């Protein structure tokens, strides 16, 4: 140990600089969110579509916490989206019309179910995990589908009323309030997710993804870990579902269909896992393409989505965002 | 510390029995580890050395018998509870976080030790104590220049050092090393053990090792396992000249 007296203000060590750079907001991030806000001011912009993009992006980001950071694949993530969507729907139908508290309650409900799911499946991994999550999703879908007296079945839940945001901003027919409400909510939840993954807990998630056995020998309770990340991912998926209900004032069993679970996985993989932004970028591409292709050939658009998925996985193995990052780093390096 | 506490073994096993189905790995194993000693376990392959370490760390449950740590029974405690109590281990085959860098890997261990591994919104960047301790530990192992490289890109010898550094980050009372010098050259092996001797001065160290040169150089006492039994437990010099040991292990 050195006994030399050190200056009171020290230059950051390489380690401190590294973690500071990990936590720092990059220009790409600032531009990304500024652009989402700027879209609102474009005259004649298709705000309902862009609102959908935000909701899908948030939904895919929640799956990223599970899959990208913790390494838990799920084929049933729409179950949590649907729970949030129906919870928000029932609240609005039975008199709890204030949107922000409704969003939080719906998110909490989905998070609780997610926590329970984590408790049940923390010993399962790999293919079995895909089957269990898919199974849970199908069971829930069937229950909602059959209990039509209570859920409205295929017709969906009618008569949902959502009060103006903060008592001031009514949900208008042009989707202006809906877009800003979805943007503010998605951004707030993104901030939470971002802080989580930059914390020691975020590192522990990556560690458990890489090597669960080593995490056990470092003293980490793996079951606590799995149920925690499941609860957080489910709560965020539930918030996305609640946003869909509140901004459309309608909810149907499609919110928790297997198709939705598959779509969100496709969106995340196209965008890239383990980056938080992958889900949003994937959602932008997926929904804009779907909109465009649906006009060209309303029946066969999944053909093109399938083709896109194959191309992305073949040429950008890790998805668009990680590949773009590598490209930027190379350009800077040269 | 009272004399009685000092005399109490750090680790003790009583009539420990381990079988996988019909295959008996060891029987009636009574083993005691003195506080602060560097203790080597040697023995031919299949003698039950690694199984013994896994039973002590809780990755395997013994068929019968007791494991005591500082006099308290831990036979049924989870691996995590044993880590919290002060037992850390390394693996025969590196068990690292390949896609992360060594600095982040050590921060994970430190955060867990400090109880800061749970849900939190506080970035690592705002916890310089964790970062600085991790950097200092890596520097002690000569890994300062490799702290920010992806672990799987490091040469094997450095990954081996990181394997030990991860366990030491927990500041264990008892450190179990399963063939720490496996895959290292003779020179690297000596270097690792010299570093260990300095870094673990306050720690009780139990290590499995095949290289007799390293064992006789660095161990205070040696236990010889053969065919599921503790053949002899003594100082290196006595072990070296023990006729049974020469017969079953050294092949003389």
What value of ipTM does the predicted structure carry? Answer: 0.88
Residue A181 has a pLDDT of: 96
Minimal CA separation from B123 to chain A, in Å? 4
Q: Which of A3-12, A17-26, A311-320 has the lowest mean pLDDT?
A: A3-12
Could you say which of A19, A218, A224 has the minimum Cβ distance to residue B109? A218
Domain with B131 in it: 96-156
Q: Cβ of A15 and B97 within 8 Å? A: no
Locate all alpha helices (DSSP H) within chain A, ordered by sequence.
Answer: 14-23, 27-39, 47-64, 78-93, 99-121, 127-146, 148-151, 176-198, 200-210, 212-217, 222-248, 258-271, 277-296, 301-315, 320-333
Residue B191 has a pLDDT of: 85
Q: Which of A42-51, A110-119, A290-299 has the lowest mean pLDDT?
A: A290-299
Number of domains in chain B: 1
pLDDT tens sequence across B36-45: 899 999 988 8
Interacting residues of B142 by C-beta distance below 8 A, sequence separation 6+: B161, B195
B5 domain residue, yes or no: no
B76 domain residue, yes or no: no
Q: Quote the percentage of chain A above a pLDDT of 90.
A: 60
Distance CA A264, CA A217 (A): 34
Mean pLDDT (chain A) is 89
Residue B106 has a pLDDT of: 97
pLDDT tens sequence across A185-223: 999 999 999 999 999 999 999 999 999 989 999 998 887
Residue B142, CB-side half-sphere exposure with 13 Å CA sphere:
13
B243 domain residue, yes or no: no
pTM for the whole structure: 0.90
pLDDT tens sequence across B18-53: 998 888 888 888 999 999 899 999 988 878 888 999
pLDDT tens sequence across A81-134: 999 999 999 998 888 889 999 999 999 999 999 999 998 888 887 788 888 889
Sketch the domain layout of chain A as residue ranges: 46-258
CB B103 within 8 A of CB A18: yes
- Find which of A1, A199, A276, A329 to mutate to test the B interface (most B CBs within 10 Å of its CB): A199
Could you say which of B88, B111, B128 has the minimum Cβ distance to residue A204? B111
Chain A residues touching B97 at Cβ < 8 A: 206-207, 210-211, 214
- Find which of A16, A219, A221 to mutate to test the B interface (most B CBs within 10 Å of its CB): A219
Chain B residues touching A207 at Cβ < 8 A: 97, 100, 105, 108
For residue B213, pLDDT over 70 is answered with yes
Q: How many CB atoms lie within 10 A of CB B73?
A: 12
Name the residue of chain A whose CA is nearest to B89's CA: A217
């Amino acid at each position: 140990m050195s006994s030399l007296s050190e200056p009171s203000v020290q230059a950051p060590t390489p380690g401190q600089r590294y973690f500071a750079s990990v936590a720092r907001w990059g220009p790409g991030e600032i531009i990304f969110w500024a652009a989402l806000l700027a879209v609102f001011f474009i005259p004649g912009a298709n705000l309902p579509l862009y609102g959908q993009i935000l909701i899908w992006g948030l939904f895919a980001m929640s799956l990223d916490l599970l899959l990208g950071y913790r390494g838990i694949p799920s084929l049933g993530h729409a179950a949590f989206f649907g729970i949030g969507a129906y919870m928000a729907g029932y609240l609005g139908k039975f008199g709890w019309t204030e949107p922000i508290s409704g969003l939080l309650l719906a998110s909490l409900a989905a998070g609780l179910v997610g926590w329970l799911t984590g408790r049940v499946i923390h010993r399962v991994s790999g293919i079995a995990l895909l089957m269990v999550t898919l199974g849970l999703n199908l069971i829930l879908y069937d229950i909602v589908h059959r209990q039509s007296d209570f859920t409205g079945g295929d017709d969906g839940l009618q008569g949902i009323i959502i009060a103006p945001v903060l008592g001031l901003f009514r949900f208008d027919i042009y989707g202006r309030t809906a877009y800003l409400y979805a943007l503010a909510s998605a951004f707030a939840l993104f901030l939470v997710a971002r802080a989580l993954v930059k914390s020691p807990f975020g590192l522990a998630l990556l560690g458990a993804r890489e090597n669960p056995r080593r995490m056990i020998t470092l003293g980490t309770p793996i079951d606590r870990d799995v149920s925690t990340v499941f609860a957080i991912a489910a709560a965020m998926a539930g918030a996305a579902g609640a946003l869909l209900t509140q901004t459309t004032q309608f909810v149907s069993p499609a919110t928790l269909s297997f198709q939705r679970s598959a779509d969100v996985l496709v969106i995340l993989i196209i965008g890239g896992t383990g980056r938080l932004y992958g889900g949003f970028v994937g959602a932008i591409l997926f929904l804009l393409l779907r909109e465009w292709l649906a006009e060209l050939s309303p029946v066969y658009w999944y053909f093109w989505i399938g083709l896109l998925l194959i191309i992305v996985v073949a040429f950008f193995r890790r998805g668009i965002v990680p590949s773009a990052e590598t490209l930027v780093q190379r350009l800077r390096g040269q | 510390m009272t004399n009685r506490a000092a005399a109490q073994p750090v680790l003790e096993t009583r009539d420990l029995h381990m079988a996988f189905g019909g295959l008996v790995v060891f029987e009636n194993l009574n083993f005691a580890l003195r506080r602060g000693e560097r203790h080597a376990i040697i023995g031919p392959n299949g003698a039950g050395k690694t199984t013994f370490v896994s039973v002590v760390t809780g990755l395997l449950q013994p068929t019968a018998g007791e494991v005591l740590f500082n006099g308290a029974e831990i036979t049924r405690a989870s691996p995590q509870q044993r880590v919290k109590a002060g037992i850390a281990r390394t693996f025969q085959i590196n068990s690292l976080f390949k896609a992360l860098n060594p600095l982040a890997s050590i921060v994970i261990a430190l955060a867990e030790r400090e109880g800061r591994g749970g849900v939190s919104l506080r970035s690592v960047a705002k916890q310089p104590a964790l970062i600085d301790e991790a950097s200092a530990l890596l520097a002690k192992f000569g890994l300062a220049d490799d702290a920010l490289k992806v672990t799987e890109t490091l040469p094997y010898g450095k990954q081996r050092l990181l394997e030990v550094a991860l366990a030491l980050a927990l500041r264990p009372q008892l450190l179990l090393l399963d063939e720490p010098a496996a895959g290292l050259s003779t020179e690297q092996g000596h270097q690792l053990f010299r570093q260990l001797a300095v870094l673990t001065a306050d720690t009780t160290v139990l290590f499995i090792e095949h290289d007799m040169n390293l064992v006789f150089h660095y161990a205070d006492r040696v236990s010889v396992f053969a065919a599921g039994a503790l053949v002899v437990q003594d100082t290196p010099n006595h072990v070296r000249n023990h006729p049974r040991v020469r017969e079953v292990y050294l092949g003389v």
